[in-house]
Structure 1
Amino acid sequence: MTAANRPVNGQQLSSSRHVDEFLSDAKERYMMSTQCPEVEPVAHEAQTKILKITSTNQAIKTHFPRGVDWKVATWIAVVHLGALAAPWTFSWAGLGALLVMYWLTGGIGICLTYHRMLSHRSFRTFPIVRWICAWLGGLAGEGSAIHWVANHRIHHAKSDHAGDPHSPREGFLWSHMLWCLQAMTVDDKNELHHRWAPDLVKDPVLRFLDRTFLGWQIVFAVGIFSVGYWAGGMPMAWSLIVWGVFLRMVIVLHATWCINSVTHVWGYKTYDNGDDSKNLWWVALLTFGEGWHNNHHAYQRAASYCHRWWEVDTTYITIRLLKLFGLVWDVAPIPPAAKQQLAAARLRG
């Protein structure tokens, strides 16, 4: 008889029974501990928090390699906080100041000057006109012409691909405003300006406006406050500065930012140009025609973004008027290729 077939004695059976009981008891205790509601959720919650913190830290390091530019962050915060006083400082004069300055700084300063004239060279004008319009663009609160144009040219070179400063593919809020908060060294900024806006860096007046950007905000605010005080005392002074500066600037900022974020997410595409740019009517309404963004990305140098009769472009209308008075010339037309593509699209239905 082999050892495997040999019967065990009583002591062996007893020992085996004790081992089985011990293992069974240990298994039961383990199962109870793993099912205990006080243990598992706490561990899971802690693990989730750790993962979120790690993910957030990684995102911050990726998007803000040099940290946050607290000067820009403070600037944006102050402007938004000032706008909160609007309900308590309303006046018709304040509303009028908002509308006039919205058009001058947003429509003329940003859309016509920073974007179409300086970024894309869609037309030419006299130096004095360029300088005055660039000064108005600075009062929009979006930075100097040199810095704005440099960032915008990068956007077009790398639109919705690696290196785009503000693509929604990196997150909607990132493309809308967080991208503005990246800290840059002086050397980084100089390299950005000289590489992407060398034509503007050569202009001494634009360099002066770049250096004195914040100073002009203060001068204008003091000026409009003084006019309000002279016209109607402190209530009028506060109304003009809250509505004509803070609230107006908030609206201009977010309208411009919607171009970077909203029109790369929602709307319709007329041209398949390799990025996410789209046309959206209500953004075009807010931004004097800039919301026909897919049209612009397809034919960047064209002065007009109105590729269909109902795509109203008020900035282009302004350019036409300036040309009529001899203030601008060499206005870049929509190329024939665009019309051919539109005709082909109509045939396809």
Structure 2
Amino acid sequence: MCRIKSLTTGDPNDPIVNKINQQSKELLTKSSDTGIYLYINKDSYGIVWKNVIVFTILHLLTIYATIVLIRDRVWNTWIFAYLYGFLGGLGVTAGAHRLWSHRSYKAKFSLRFFLACCFSIAGQNDLLTWCRDHRVHHKFSETDSDPHNSRRGFFFAHVGWLLTRKHPSVIEDGKKVDLSDLMDDPIVRYHRRFYPICYVVFIILIPWFVPVYVWSESISTSLLIAVIWRYVTSLHCTWFVNSAAHMWGDRPYRSTIGARENYFVSFAAFGEGFHNFHHSFPWDYATSELGWKLNPTKVFIDLMSKLGLAYDLKTVKPETILRITDKHHQQNN
């Protein structure tokens, strides 16, 4: 006979936990022979309809923007959108990812400020939130505590995780990740504080009105191409790292993890597709053994190093790669 005894899945003072508990009473049962409490929470997979509506509208507008781009041949605006988006991509890859999330190199204040501005162009939340989710992803990769757990399928890993409520384990284990180094950086603190302003300025106003005032693009076309088309396509470039790079490709370093070497993703995401290497050696600033190939982010960091703006670039020694890789494959053969 099954009965309810305990509903606690985390901090009982956490309002999110309390809400989950109250809405899941009928789903908590006790096995009479083992005494183990089994927790099945359908509310943790609930849809966030606001996000669904926003992303649906953005994607429909992006389809229309693509038609406008081909039909009207607004190549000046498209080139600007691509170059502006490239800066946003560097803000994610060289900034939020390799600098702040993994501390794979250090940067002077001027470079950190520049990368924070570039990251604002990408419009992927504030730096602290992005880095927290990414550190949780690495620490609990492909478990219920992974924000974009690829074991839940391509769609969930790609965008579904942004359309549904977080699994309770993501919230609980997310509290265990140390973010003190990020909070010590004034740029991260101020970016979090002023992110709404950054979003409006860097995501909407700058790309919208530069084409209008510099080469007399129409307001509607500039909005469609330089703002919406650029924003949505750049989001997918990042999302492919969470989805495709965890599902398709080789696993030469660690065959027991989901992260793969995916060259398409490396091309689209400025070198972030060498994912099996990256999850095996996350502290390496290049995220790859292949040097500059398909890795413009490494080229950028190397250039900043030559200019004296980036320093203490961390790398993995070839003998370390061979030792760890060989040891791993021996254990799994």
Q: Same fold (TM over 0.5)?
A: yes
Pair 75,212 (structure 1): closer, same or farther in 2 beyond 3 Å: farther
1:200-224 Cα deviation digits (max 9, x unpaired):
2233432332233333232232233
1:241 and 2:220 correspond: no
Residue matched to 2:64: 85
Q: Provide structure 1 residue ranges, at least 5 long, that are not aligned to the other structure.
A: 1-53
Pair 197,79 (structure 1): closer, same or farther in 2 beyond 3 Å: farther
- State the secondary structure of the residue aligned to 1:139: helix
1:294 and 2:273 correspond: no
1:227 and 2:210 correspond: yes
For residue 98 of structure 1, what is the amino acid of its counterpart?
A
Residue matched to 1:76: 55
Deviation of 1:244 (Å): 1.9
In structure 2, distance between residues paired with 1:74 and 1:196: 34
For residue 193 of structure 2, what is the amino acid of its counterpart?
R
Deviation of 1:305 (Å): 2.3
Q: Structure 2 length normalisation: TM-score?
A: 0.75
How many residues in Structure 1 have an aligned counterpart in Structure 2?
A: 282
Deviation of 1:325 (Å): 1.0
Pair 195,128 (structure 1): closer, same or farther in 2 beyond 3 Å: same
In structure 1, distance between residues paired with 2:242 and 2:108: 30
Q: Is the deviation greater in 194-203 or in 123-132? A: 194-203
Q: Is the 8 A contact 1:93 1:240 kept in 2?
A: no
1:254 and 2:233 correspond: no
Deviation of 1:344 (Å): 9.1
Q: How does 1:158-197 map to 2 (within 5 A)?
A: 158-183=140-165, 192=174, 195-197=177-179
- State the secondary structure of the residue aligned to 1:312: coil
**Higher-Rg member (1/2):** 1
1:205 and 2:184 correspond: no
Pair 156,190 (structure 1): closer, same or farther in 2 beyond 3 Å: closer
In structure 1, distance between residues paired with 2:55 and 2:256: 33
Residue matched to 2:118: 136
1:135-175 Cα deviation digits (max 9, x unpaired):
21122121111101000000100111231111221222111
Deviation of 1:255 (Å): 1.2
In structure 1, distance between residues paired with 2:198 and 2:291: 39
For residue 157 of structure 2, what is the amino acid of its counterpart?
S
For residue 207 of structure 2, what is the amino acid of its counterpart?
I
Q: How does 1:109-124 map to 2 (within 5 A)?
A: 109-124=91-106
- State the secondary structure of the residue aligned to 2:122: coil
Deviation of 1:230 (Å): 2.3
Deviation of 1:92 (Å): 1.5
- State the secondary structure of the residue aligned to 2:110: helix
What RMSD over aligned residues (CA atoms) do the two structures have, in Å? 3.1
Deviation of 1:312 (Å): 3.4
For residue 310 of structure 2, what is the amino acid of its counterpart?
V
Percent same amino acid at aligned positions? 25
Residue matched to 2:331: none
In structure 2, distance between residues paired with 1:287 and 1:73: 24
1:218 and 2:200 correspond: yes
Pair 275,189 (structure 1): closer, same or farther in 2 beyond 3 Å: closer
Pick one of 313, 321, 325 that aligns with 1:338.
Answer: 321
Q: Is the 8 A contact 2:136 2:174 kept in 1?
A: no
Q: Provide structure 2 residue ranges, at least 5 long, that are not aligned to the other structure.
A: 1-26, 28-39, 329-333
Pair 69,193 (structure 1): closer, same or farther in 2 beyond 3 Å: farther
Deviation of 1:74 (Å): 4.7
1:63 and 2:45 correspond: yes
Q: Is the 8 A contact 2:274 2:287 kept in 1?
A: yes
Q: Is the 8 A contact 1:277 1:297 kept in 2?
A: yes
In structure 2, distance between residues paired with 1:223 and 1:309: 34
For residue 154 of structure 2, what is the amino acid of its counterpart?
F
